[in-house]
Every structure is written in C-alpha cells, then in structure tokens.
Amino acid sequence: MATHLVWLRNDLRINDNSALWAACRQRDANVVALFIATPQQWRQHDMSPRQADYIWHSLQLLQQALAAKGIVLHYYQCADFSASVDYLAAFCREQQVDALFYNYQYEFNERERDAATERRLTQQGVTVQGFDDSVLLPPGSVRTGSQKMYKVFTPFSKAYLQRLRISLPECLPAPEPRSQTLPQTLPALAPFDYPRQAFDHQLFPPGEAAALQRLRAFCRQPVMSYPEQRDLPALDGTSRLSVCLATGTLSPRQCLHRLLHEQPQTLEQGRARVWLNELIWRDFYRHLLVAFPALCKNQPFMTWTKQVAWQDNPHHFTAWQQGKTGYPIVDAAMRQMNRTGWMHNRLRMITASFLVKDLQINWQLGERYFMSMLIDGDLAANNGGWQWAASTGTDAAPYFRIFNPTTQGERFDKQGEFIRRWLPELAKVPDSAIHDPHGWAKKNHQRLDYPSPIVEHKAAREKTLAIFAAARKAS
Ligand code: FAD
C-alpha cells in the first residue's frame, strides 16, 4: 500500500486544501499529515506570539478534524528550515513515504526550503508534488500583453477579474473519511518553544469551522455595507478574516465561492465587488513577491528611495510604538494593535504614513514592528502595505501625498468613538475637540494626562518633502 504524506504549513484546514485533496485521491493509499514548527525561523521573521498561539490552537482543532477523516496529524518541533528538511527526510524514510504533497508558500526563504526538500526527497525516491493554494490564481498566470508582471494594481485587477469570469478556480470539498486505523491516542501537540501571548478568542476564534462561520455571516449581509463602512474603524464593518487567510484556516477560493453563492453577480458588478477587490489586492502582493523576490529581502521596489536620509529618532519610534505621539487617531490605532494584535486597514495606512512621513523613520522598522505584533502578520500584505504608505513600492502613494493625521481622524472617526475606546485619558474632552485635545485643554485651562504632539505636522511634512526630493535628485 502506498503511503502519502501531506506536509501542512500555512494551510491549516481540511476543506479546499489542494495538497490534502491530492494526497487522498488514491483511495487505498495510507495518508498521514505532518506539521513542523520552526520557532527559530519564526523569530527571524518576527512572527508575533499571538499568531503563533492562534496557529497552535488551530492545530489542535485540525488534528481532531483530520482524525475524523481517519488521518493522523504528526507534529515535530525543530529550530529552523534546514533542520525541518532533515526531519522530513528522516520521517519519510521511517514511515516509508512514497509521495509528499504540499501547498506552496511564496516567500523567498520558504521557496528555498521547498526546493531543498524536493531535491533531497527526490534523491530518496519520494515523489514530491506542490500546489498553488493560498491564491485565487497562481503567481505568474496574470500578465501584461508583453508577458510581464503588472506593476500597477488597476490593470492587474481588471485582467484578474477577466480571468475569473472565464474560469473560476475550483473549491474542493474535504476528503472522504478513510478506512485507516487510528492510534489509541493522537500524537501530542507540545506547546511551541516560542514566547506566549494570548489572543482574544471571541475576536479571533481559532480553527477552520469558526473561519467558515464568520465568512458565511459576512457574505450574507455585511459585505453589502462594506463600501461605506470599511473605512470607519469604530464599526465592525470589515470581515476580520485576515488571520484566517494568513494562516490558512480559510482559503481565498472559499471566500470567492461563498461570496458568489450569496452575491452571484459580483464578478460583473455590485457592491460586493469592493470586498472582492481586497482579495485581489492580497493576490497582487503575492504575485509581486514571486516576480520580484528582492521584496522578501527588505528591498524597496523603487530603488531611488534607498537614498532617503531617514532620521530614525529612537524616542519618536518608541512613542509611535506605545501610542504616545500626541495624535489621538495614531495613538488609538497603535494601542488597538498592541492590545489585540489587529488594526483596522484605514488605521494601518494612517499609522504607517505617520511613522514615515511625520517622523521620517525608515519604513522597514515599522514593517518589522507590525509583523511582531499582528495576529494576521503576512509578509506579502505587510510589505505591500508598508511600501505603499512609504511611497517606496510599486503603485504606491506618491511621496508628496502626505496624510494629515488630524484631518484623517476627523474624516474617519468624526465623533472620536474609536479614539475614546483606546484613549481613556481623553474621556473629559468633548467630541468637537477630540482631534485637538491640547488646543481644547489650553483654551479651557484643563490639564490632560496625554502627551503633546511629538512633532508639528506642517513642519514635519516640509521636512519629508525635502528629504524625498533630495533622494530623488541624488539617484
Ligand atoms: P477585509 O477588509 O475584510 O478584507 C478581506 C481580506 O482581504 C483581508 O482579510 C486580507 O486578507 C485581504 N486584504 C484586505 N486589504 C488588503 C490589502 N490592502 N492588502 C492585502 N490584502 C488585503 N494584511 C494582512 O493580512 N497582514 C498584514 O500583515 C498586513 N499588514 C498591513 C500593513 C499595512 C501598513 C497596511 C496599510 C495594510 C496591511 N494589511 C495586512 C492589509 C489590511 O490592512 C488587512 O488585510 C485588513 O485590515 C485585515 O482586516 P479584514 O480581514 O477585516 O479585511
């Protein structure tokens, strides 16, 4: 009897899992699954402890779900990618594995590891099959007329939609239960050798079933209000599925199919297209990683921006990290992320812009800090978002377009409802003054236990324009 091994990584689900599905296709094969934790590697990637904890809880649920299908999930913990290749080779020898199935990851180090694994196992006589699974369409499959990767999102998304209209990617069911005998006790999932930080299970319930439930509920109704609500951080107007997509408790194809089930006209028109567009942004950044691997190595897309003379003031950086800049919308956003591991998209744009364009701090420091805090940390989306905000990326905000943190707050959190949730020290400030609390305090002879703005926006803006212009001239 053939033995098939499914190597699970960021695809922690049994539904619509290409590798698992393929491994189970041969009815009489013995199928086993394996997850290898690599904490040392995670540290290098700044994976947040909350994301590690979400993965650990989701793994427990995945082990049960696989067992219900007659499949054992094995588990191993080793330092890094190189050790994981050694372990896989030994596991395949011991268990007499004939074929390995896995879903691609697109980051540079992950691809190197997978190439090394494939070489090693092929030498051992194991057949290795990889699958495009964490994207709607495979990287490299949507190209310009001259067969290049799109560098601008709008034409990319038009071509993407066109491809989806012609042929929808299939959404696979969970495999049928197998008649394999399970051991009396399933392999123990020892806690990761990684810093622990609990996350809010109400906000981010782990596992595939909870992800599917949230997806269903979101596509039924809230997705129709998404165009108006998605920019208002005080509302629960977005799907909050990012951790599920980043760790693979949910697939983008499941999102697309559920969306079309509830809103069948979406590929042609309609309000739900706005949400679909965000899923296409997600794929855009993944396709870019594969086309331009230097993005994984902390390189700006626009090389002239390497000349920008960043200020990197450590006091300013700490104030930004702690949510003590004196700009209420920035501080409330940073505290939301520090406390929950998630930040609203509009606020990610505002806080990233503030770090780069008001404090002139290198975007790469912000990118790393976000990764270390976000439960949904995802290299492609995070790098894409930071390079967009820093004006260093492809199709990024032009460097002279600089958010004003006060007017952004006024526009997207008019009454300060969101700000009040995270800055209790502004409780006595009236709504009309919530975006300029110190102005109000001065006028009304009040004392506030809240820092004064660490920079003056107008002057900071001028400075940023000057250092970007100088960098451009020097290149
Ligand atoms: P929804 O609005 O419901 O969107 C649905 C899904 O689409 C999201 O779950 C996400 O997978 C994807 N998506 C939405 N917006 C974007 C976008 N702009 N780029 C790429 N994918 C998107 N997203 C991450 O998943 N991980 C990150 O580490 C990350 N870092 C970011 C850093 C910065 C500076 C910026 C500006 C954005 C970043 N984003 C990141 C994108 C976006 O902010 C989050 O995906 C979104 O806020 C997650 O909330 P949601 O699930 O409710 O999203």
Q: pLDDT, tens digit, for every residue of 398-456?
A: 999 999 999 999 999 999 999 999 999 999 999 999 999 999 999 999 999 999 999 99
How far apart are the CA of 312 and the centre of ligand 1, in A? 26
- pLDDT confidence bin for 174, thresholds 50/70/90: very high
Ligand 1 site, residue 252, Cβ cutoff 6 A: no
Please state, in angstroms and rounded to a whole number, the distance separating the CA atoms of residues 7 and 65.
Answer: 16
Ligand 1 site, residue 351, Cβ cutoff 6 A: no
| Residue of 282, 350, 412 best suited for mutating to test ligand 1, as the one with most atoms within 8 Å of CB | 282
Residue 269 pLDDT exceeds 90: yes
Q: Which of 208, 455, 287, 451 is nearest to 355 (CA)?
A: 455
Does the annotation flag 282 for ligand binding? yes
Residue with tokens 């697109």: 106
Please, how many CA atoms are within 13 Å of residue 127, restricted to the half-sphere of its CB?
8
How does pLDDT run across 86-140, given as a tens digit for each residue?
999 999 999 999 999 999 999 999 999 999 999 999 999 999 999 999 999 999 9
Q: Are 274 and 230 in contact (CB under 8 A)?
A: yes
Q: Which of 240, 267, 269 is nearest to 136 (CA)?
A: 267
How does pLDDT run across 33-55, given as a tens digit for each residue?
999 999 999 999 999 999 999 99
Please state, in angstroms and rounded to a whole number, the distance separating the CA atoms of residues 413 and 422.
Answer: 13
Ligand 1 site, residue 6, Cβ cutoff 6 A: no
- pLDDT confidence bin for 475, thresholds 50/70/90: confident
How does pLDDT run across 251-260, given as a tens digit for each residue?
999 999 999 9
Residues 14-20 have a mean pLDDT of 98
Does the annotation flag 376 for ligand binding? yes
Please, how many CA atoms are within 13 Å of residue 312, restricted to the half-sphere of its CB?
7
> 89-98: which pairs have CB atoms within 8 A and are 24 or more residues apart?
89/120, 89/121, 89/124, 91/5, 91/34, 92/5, 92/121, 92/124, 92/126, 93/124, 95/3, 95/5, 95/32, 96/3, 97/3, 97/4, 97/5, 97/32, 97/126, 98/2, 98/3, 98/4, 98/126, 98/127
Structure-token pair, residue 228: 């108006």
Phi, psi angles (nearest 5°) of residue 186: -80, 155
Residue with tokens 């700490």: 318
How far apart are the CA of 350 and the centre of ligand 1, in A? 14
Q: Are 198 and 53 in contact (CB under 8 A)?
A: yes
How does pLDDT run across 51-87, given as a tens digit for each residue?
999 999 999 999 999 999 999 999 999 989 999 999 9
How far apart are the CA of 34 and the centre of ligand 1, in A? 29
**Predicted local confidence at residue 47, as pLDDT:** 98
Please, how many CA atoms are within 13 Å of residue 277, restricted to the half-sphere of its CB?
15
DSSP state string for 36-64: EE-HHHHHHTT--HHHHHHHHHHHHHHHH
Angle, in degrees to the nearest 10, between helices 108-123 and 81-94? 30
**Predicted local confidence at residue 173, as pLDDT:** 98
Ligand 1 site, residue 230, Cβ cutoff 6 A: yes
Q: Whose CA is nearest to atom 23 of ligand 1?
A: 381
Q: Name 75's Cβ contacts closer than 8 Å, sequence gap at least 6.
A: 34, 35, 36, 37, 59, 63, 187, 188, 189, 190
Q: Are strands 72-77 and 99-103 parallel, antiparallel or unpaired?
A: unpaired
Q: Which of 373, 354, 338 is nearest to 46 (CA)?
A: 373
Closest ligand 1 atom number to CA of residue 379: 28
Cα dihedral sign for 242, 243, 245, 246?
positive
Ligand 1 site, residue 254, Cβ cutoff 6 A: no
**Predicted local confidence at residue 298, as pLDDT:** 82
Task: Give the bridge partners for 77, in sequence order.
Answer: 37
**Predicted local confidence at residue 467, as pLDDT:** 97
Closest ligand 1 atom number to CA of residue 218: 3
- pLDDT confidence bin for 397, thresholds 50/70/90: confident
**Predicted local confidence at residue 296, as pLDDT:** 93
Q: Which of 220, 281, 198 is nearest to 245 (CA)?
A: 281
Q: Whose CA is nearest to atom 30 of ligand 1?
A: 382
Ligand 1 site, residue 245, Cβ cutoff 6 A: yes
| Residue of 46, 242, 255 best suited for mutating to test ligand 1, as the one with most atoms within 8 Å of CB | 242
Q: Which of 239, 294, 305, 248 is nearest to 272 (CA)?
A: 239
Q: Collapsing DSSP states into helix, strand and coil, what is residue 357?
A: helix
Please state, in angstroms and rounded to a whole number, the distance separating the CA atoms of residues 448 and 428.
Answer: 9
Ligand 1 site, residue 384, Cβ cutoff 6 A: yes
Q: 10 Å Cβ neighbour count for 76?
A: 17
**Predicted local confidence at residue 382, as pLDDT:** 98
Catalytic residues: 278, 281, 310, 345, 363, 386
Average pLDDT, rounded, for the chain: 97
Structure-token pair, residue 288: 């870019």
Does the annotation flag 8 for ligand binding? no
Residue 229 pLDDT exceeds 90: yes
How far apart are the CA of 5 and the centre of ligand 1, in A? 32
Domains parsed from the chain with CATH numbers: 3-131 (3.40.50.620), 135-171+208-291 (1.25.40.80), 303-474 (1.10.579.10)
Ligand 1 site, residue 386, Cβ cutoff 6 A: yes
**Predicted local confidence at residue 301, as pLDDT:** 96
Q: Are 231 and 349 in contact (CB under 8 A)?
A: no
Q: Collapsing DSSP states into helix, strand and coil, what is residue 334?
A: helix
